[in-house]
Amino acid sequence: MLAGCSRSSSATTVILSPPVLPPTPGTGDVQAFARLTNAIPVNIAIGSSTGWAFVDTGNPWVLLDPTTFPSAAGLPSAGGTLPSIQIASQTATNPYVIGSTGGDLQGDMTFNLDANVGCTVVCGFSPSFNYRDVELTLAASGQAPPTPSNIEAAVVVPFSFEGGGLEGGLTVPKSRIVVPVTIEGVKYTMILDTGASDVTVSAAAYSALVADGRTQISGGTTQTASGSSTSAITRAASMVVGASGGPTVEVTGVIVAHDSSFDSNLESVSTDVGETIDGSLGGTFLHDFFVTVDYTSQTISFARYTDTSFNLDAAEHIGLTLGTDAAGDYGVASVSGSAVALGIEEGDIIVRIENEELSTLTTLEIATLPFGAVGSTRAVTFGAAANNANMTIDVPVDETLPLPSADAGM
């Protein structure tokens, strides 16, 4: 978990043997990273040093890699104050930061992150997260941010601003955005967590969700402050944020994750706020909306995009995983689902997907290509192949986390 939050990459995501990326990722890498992880990367500057960061509403602190930001290297292990941080056209003065090189900062899919920007900066502003356009805005506290086009009327949900205990002898700033969440009719309490790539829940909540025997996928990896751990994902038919009788927003077919190391983070957060926290409301719910947090009024604005087809669903993709061979060609590492019947075999060389030449793309950009809406296809062009040499085949997009039939029509 990223300082109390999780970033998971499921086993269904196409993982490639990555080439070394340039120090400054290009526009395509930034967008692809955002699509794959539901995080919005942003450049920050501290003095003359710059690096990539993400805003994490589930984290009380600002965590900085002292290799990228030398000013953090001289701070005590428990952190200290820096003169300023520039982020999203704003300057935060005298923020409290902690130097960190652990899992808190690790990116997914070869995109390196240098900072995790938590409450000691972001709580002084009204942050907005535009998942469609991959834009982060920090408005002055209490002020409305610029509104993007093609969104529905916002639903404003109140939250409870909680926390402020001790952790490792250090006073934790009041920072937790606590909201009521209902998953398939069962009520939970969660924190809003823009540092979590998925909605991530406790072992008890996850067990209750999969008790009906629904499909789940295990074996994914989650980067945590203590290293990597395995995770599992499944699909929830419905998730509602907000208390009954008040304003609420709903998303259907939400990917929900759990990993064992996350439970200890939830225990820590629960201790901090003085009540049981059942999970993190992360990207697989949030990415449907333009989300704005107003710390002054203690409200979250959810404005749904009129078209959410930009979202990548971790369980909706063609049945291929890719890897690179000794020559640097992209080959089929494994085959599953509908792809098997098309005669695709391990070792087949792929040169294009959807007419995109793989040799011209980065690892991140390639990793987005196999995803799509169930019922659609992806055009895959082969080079040397057992059965489809020099042919273009339309490979169906499979649903790998089907809901039980009773829930599928919701």
* pLDDT digits 0-9 by tens, 67-77: 999 999 989 98
Q: Is the pTM of this model over 0.75?
A: yes
Which residues make up the CATH 2.40.70.10 domain(s) of the chain? Answer: 7-304
Coil/strand/helix, residue 158: strand
Give the pLDDT confidence of 301-343 residue by residue, as tens digits.
999 999 999 999 999 999 999 998 888 899 999 999 999 999 9
**Proportion of the chain above pLDDT 90, given as a percent:** 75
Q: What's the average model confidence in pLDDT over 146-165?
A: 95
The residues, ordered by sequence, that sit 6+ positions from 318 with a Cβ below 8 Å of its Cβ are 337, 338, 339, 370, 372, 377, 378, 380, 395, 396, 397, 398
Mean pLDDT of 175-194: 98
CATH number assigned to the domain covering 7-304 = 2.40.70.10
Residues forming a β-bridge with 390? none
From the CB of residue 42, how many other CB atoms can be counted at a distance below 10 Å? 19
Which residue do the tokens 């967590």 mark? 193
Per residue in 231-277, pLDDT (tens digit) is 899 999 999 999 999 999 999 999 999 988 888 889 999 999 999 99
Is CATH 2.30.42.10 the right assignment for the domain spanning 316-399?
A: yes
CATH 2.30.42.10 in the chain: give the residue spans.
316-399
Q: In this predicted structure, what is the pLDDT of residue 170?
A: 78
Give 61's pLDDT tier (boundaries 50, 70, 90).
Answer: very high
- pLDDT, one tens digit per residue, over 9-22 is 333 334 343 333 33
Name the band, by pLDDT with cuts 50, 70 and 90, for residue 102. confident
* pLDDT score for 221: 55
Does the pLDDT of residue 225 top 60, yes or no?
no
Pairing mode, strands 125-130 and 7-9: unpaired
pLDDT of residue 328: 85
